[in-house]
């Protein structure tokens, strides 16, 4: 689930597959940068901040949405929760530390 720290388009579900996802009509791909970034069509850059095992925090260069969060849906089966954490850790590498 994606949510924004300010009033935005509300919570939206996403499915992350090998660093790729679609949201609000756009397609996005994680870039192999340090830290991980995602380029939006309008030029906004979304930058990885932290991962606590449940929530991924991102900063953005967008004035209206300086922070956004990816949150695991609580109703996922246990095997899917483990896969979600593994997928993010494999994509984000050592930056994805619980804490």
User: Domain-by-domain residue ranges, the chain?
Assistant: 1-32
Say whether pLDDT at 46 is over 80: yes
Beta strand 45-51 with 26-31 is: unpaired
Q: What is the pLDDT of residue 20?
A: 81
Q: What is the mean pLDDT of residues 39-67?
A: 90
Q: What is the pLDDT of residue 58?
A: 92
Question: pTM score > 0.85 for this model?
Answer: no
Q: How far apart are CA 84 and CA 79, in angstroms?
A: 9
E strand segments, 24-63: 26-31, 37-39, 45-51, 55-60
For the chain, give the mean pLDDT.
76
Q: What is the pLDDT of residue 18?
A: 76
Sign of the Cα torsion 45, 50, 93, 10 reads negative
Say whether pLDDT at 87 is over 80: no
Tell me if 47 sits within 8 A of 94, measured CB to CB.
no
């Amino acid at each position: 689930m994606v949510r924004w720290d300010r009033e935005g388009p509300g919570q939206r579900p996403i499915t992350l597959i090998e660093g790729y996802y679609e949201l609000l009509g756009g397609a996005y791909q994680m870039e192999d940068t340090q830290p991980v970034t995602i380029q939006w069509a309008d030029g906004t850059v979304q930058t990885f901040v932290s991962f606590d095992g449940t929530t991924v925090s991102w900063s953005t260069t967008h004035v209206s949405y300086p922070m956004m969060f990816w949150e695991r849906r609580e109703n996922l089966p246990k095997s899917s929760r483990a896969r979600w954490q593994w997928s993010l850790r494999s994509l984000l590498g050592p930056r994805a530390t619980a804490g």
